[in-house]
Structure 1
Amino acid sequence: MLDVRRLRLLRDLSHLGTIAAVAAAHSYTPSAVSQQLAALQREAGVPLLEHAGRGVSLTPAGVALVHHTETILATLEAAGATLAAARTGLSGTLRIGAFPSAVRTLLPPALAAFGRDHPALDLMVTELDPVAMPDQLRDGRLDVALLHDYDIVPVAPDPTLDSTPLLDETVYLAVPADADFDADPVAGARGADWIVGTPGTLCHTVAVRACQAAGFTPRVRHHADDFTAVLALVAAGQGVSVVPQLGAADPPPGVRLLPLAAHRRTRVAYRRGAGTHPAVAAFSVTLRASTDAYLRR
């Protein structure tokens, strides 16, 4: 019989890439992870891993086992959701991941309403860049998360997660109010200084990709990840920046927002099989109502 905990480690290795990363995600030592994977390989009776340089990679049998593991883990999540639905009332802890502009706009009213309706359920919010959330959903540090991508930087579907659409936002180029731009704002900002996110974040990639589509590489002057700070820098004449609708709420004087053709798409994500968990389902409904109310303002 294959051990589910060891199967989870193999699945995580396929996503995280190194034994050290798997160990860090589970608060194990790399040696302990290696021992568990070796035990799984003995249980399987066929090689699951092979050396690749200084690391390891999955064999074809290992890859096939990971596909089965995804189905097994999703079934366990669904079983847990069924048992949770049989209990009376919602209790325990719901761990929520969200990106900064959603924490500032959409989440506060949703948390207040959800807390009133389900006072025995503790809500814990962690602010994260969307790039970091799938790993935390997979390893159980989050139960539900607000993920987003942009149509100009689409993210491939993650086979370990399910999600439902929440919001489709207009994306703007934020420019100083006295700036003069052509019909194509990004092309018109070819010679401008740019304010972009930290390298490695989705916001950084989006700004660079938008400029590349217009035929140039941005001249980056500042790195900032908080849109309030970004807009303050724009108002001070420090450059231009790509800002989505939620991040552009209540811009300061001295900023003009020029709509772009790009859109940011936000969805509510959770582990495969967890969509029917009563806490996840109820929070999704509350969050959607909060989002609709925010958009009607």
Structure 2
Amino acid sequence: MLDVRRLRLLRELAHRGTIAAVAEALAFTPSAVSQQLAVLEREAGVPLLERTGRRVTLTPAGHQLVEHAEAVLERLERAAAELADARRGLAGPLRIGTFPSAGRVIIPAALALLAREHPRLEPMVAEIDPAGVADALRAGELDVALVHDYDFVPSASDAGLDTEPLLEEPMYLASPASPPDSWGGGKAGGAGGPDQDQGQDQDPVGRWSEAPWILAMPGTMCHAMATRACQAAGFSPRVRHHIDDFSTVLALVTIGQGVALIPELGAGDPPPGVVLTRLAMRRRTRIAFRRGAGAHPAVAAFAGSLRAATGG
């Protein structure tokens, strides 16, 4: 009989690529992971791993077994959801992941609604970049999370996860009202909030090709989005600052330190001196959870609170 815990280790190796990464994510030692995978190979009766020097890759049989593991783990999530639904009332921790702008604008209202309906539920919120959500959900570090993608950065599919749409928002180019002439962008007009559709350029991103740019930290989806948007406009951005917090980004734009791309959730209260030009680009936010866990009453209750908080 194949052991579910060992199947989970094999599934994580398929996603994370190295035994060391699996061990770090699941709080094992690398030697313990290797030993458990060796036992799984004996249980399976066929080689599941190929070892070349210090590298380990899955054999075709290993990949096939991972597909079965995904199905088994999904069924276990569904079973846990049904058992939770049979209990009276929701109680205990619910580990929630969010990106910062949703954490500031959406999460507080959703948690207030959730507490009103389920006072014994204990939400525990952690900020996380959407790029790390899949690993955190599979590892059990999170139960549910908010993720986003952009027109230029679609979300990658993951066999172990499901998502549901929550909201869609426009993107804005944030620029100073009086940019230096050396930037080549010209005057951008008066400052305005995100409800004001400033600028009618055919290429509102390309007009700032000579300006310094403020991007998120490398490795994040926001960084990839801004980089690809600039490349689509025909240039590579000259990055001056790497900042994840949109309030800080807007403060730097105000004093002429650069231009940036900001989603609507991050541009709700811009400081004076910032011009927000609405773009055709969109950001989409989704609710993510382990496949099979969408019916869990705690996850479903939180998803319902999120939709109520966003008017969905």
TM (norm. structure 1) is 0.97
In the alignment, structure 1 residue 271 sits paired with structure 2 residue 268: no
SS at 2:217's partner residue?
Answer: coil
Cα deviation digits, residues 131-179 of structure 1 (max 9, x gap): 1111000111100000111011112221111111001110111101234
Give the number of equivalent residue pairs: 293
1:155 alignment partner in structure 2: 155
1:284 alignment partner in structure 2: 303
1:113 CA drift (Å): 1.4
Q: 1:190 aligns with which of 201, 204, 209?
A: 209
Q: What CA distance in whole angstroms lies between the structure 2 residues aligned with 1:52 and 1:168? A: 46
1:21 alignment partner in structure 2: 21
Q: Which runs of 5 or more residues in structure 2 are unaligned?
A: 180-186, 189-200
Q: What CA distance in whole angstroms lies between the structure 2 residues aligned with 1:54 and 1:207? A: 37
Q: What CA distance in whole angstroms lies between the structure 2 residues aligned with 1:188 and 1:27? A: 49
For residues 1-16 of structure 1, the aligned pairs below 5 Å read 1-16=1-16
In the alignment, structure 1 residue 235 sits paired with structure 2 residue 263: no
Cα deviation digits, residues 92-143 of structure 1 (max 9, x gap): 1100000000000000011111112111111100001111111000111100
Q: What CA distance in whole angstroms lies between the structure 2 residues aligned with 1:268 and 1:141? A: 16
TM (norm. structure 2) is 0.92
Amino acid at match of 2:233: A
2:90 alignment partner in structure 1: 90
Q: What CA distance in whole angstroms lies between the structure 2 residues aligned with 1:22 and 1:125? A: 24
Q: What CA distance in whole angstroms lies between the structure 2 residues aligned with 1:201 and 1:85? A: 36
For residues 152-231 of structure 1, the aligned pairs below 5 Å read 152-179=152-179, 180=187, 182-231=201-250
Q: What CA distance in whole angstroms lies between the structure 1 residues aligned with 2:264 and 2:171? A: 6
Query: What percent identity do the matched residue pairs reach?
Result: 64
2:51 alignment partner in structure 1: 51
Amino acid at match of 1:113: L
Cα deviation digits, residues 2-61 of structure 1 (max 9, x gap): 000000000000001100010001111000000000000000000000014521000000
1:250 CA drift (Å): 0.5
Q: What CA distance in whole angstroms lies between the structure 1 residues aligned with 2:249 and 2:126? A: 22
1:111 alignment partner in structure 2: 111
Q: What CA distance in whole angstroms lies between the structure 2 residues aligned with 1:248 and 1:158? A: 30
In the alignment, structure 1 residue 146 sits paired with structure 2 residue 146: yes
1:68 alignment partner in structure 2: 68
Amino acid at match of 1:22: V
Amino acid at match of 2:14: S
Q: What CA distance in whole angstroms lies between the structure 1 residues aligned with 2:237 and 2:54? A: 37
Q: Which runs of 5 or more residues in structure 1 are unaligned?
A: none
Cα RMSD of the aligned pairs, angstroms, is 1.0
Amino acid at match of 2:214: I
4+ residue runs of structure 1 moved beyond 2 angstroms?
A: 178-183
